[in-house]
Amino acid sequence: MTTTVQSILREKGNQVWSVPPTASIREALELMSEKRIGAVLVMDGGALAGIFSERDYARRGVLMNHGPETPVGELMTYPVFCVTPLQTIEECMGLMTQKHIRHLPVAEGETILGVISIGDVVKEVIADQQYLIKGLENYILGRRA
C-alpha cells in the first residue's frame, strides 16, 4: 500500500498557517504555540518566501542572540523544499532525512495546498505497517480480509 501526500492532507486537513517576513519572532512563536505546530510558512505577497520553525528559533534566534522583535525573514530557512500531492510518503521520508528537515509544504505550482510534518509521515508509516501485518496474519491463518 503506497500512501501519498494527498491522502495525508485529506485526513489532517490543509490548513496553512503563515506569517509575513516582517512578523517578529515573538508573533511567529505565539501563532505556533496557539496552533500547536512546529513551523509556519513565511509568505511574502502570496508567494512562499521561507519557513520558520522551532529549530530555526533555537539555532538562529537564541544561539545568535536575536531578540524577540527580530523579523522572521532574517531567521527563516530558504530555499524551502516542497512536495506535490502525488508524492509518496517514502519520497517525503527520503527528502526529510537527506535535507534534515521536519516540515514540507505541499504545493502544486505556486499554490500551497498544506504542510506535512515528520509526525504525519510517521503516523502513516505505522498505519501502513499495521495494515500489512493484518493482511499477512489473515493470509497465514486462512482468514478472509
Separation of CA 67 from chain center: 26
Query: Greater confidence, 144 or 107?
Result: 107
Virtual CA dihedral for 37, 104, 24, 60, nearest 10 degrees? 100
The residue assigned the cell 527528502 is 95
Q: What is the mean pLDDT of residues 66-78?
A: 94
Mind listing the pLDDT tens digit for each residue in 96-142? 999 999 999 999 999 999 999 999 999 988 888 888 888 888 888 88
pTM, two decimals, is 0.85
Q: Please give the sequence-ordered ranges of beta strands (E in DSSP) within 26-85, or none if there are none.
A: 39-44, 47-53
Q: Please give the sequence-ordered ranges of beta strands (E in DSSP) within 60-129, or none if there are none.
A: 103-108, 111-117
Residue 48 burial (10 A CB sphere; 0-12, 13-18, 19+): buried
Whole-number Å distance between alpha carbons of 63 and 66: 8
Whole-number Å distance between alpha carbons of 21 and 5: 27
Q: Between 3.10.580.10, 1.10.490.20, 1.10.3720.10, 3.40.190.10, what CATH number should domain 5-140 receive?
A: 3.10.580.10
**Would you state the cell numbers that stand for residue 84, as one nine-digit string?**
506535490
φ, ψ of residue 143 to 5 degrees: the values are: -90, 150
Return the domain boundaries, the chain.
Answer: 5-140
Q: What is the mean pLDDT of residues 6-18?
A: 94
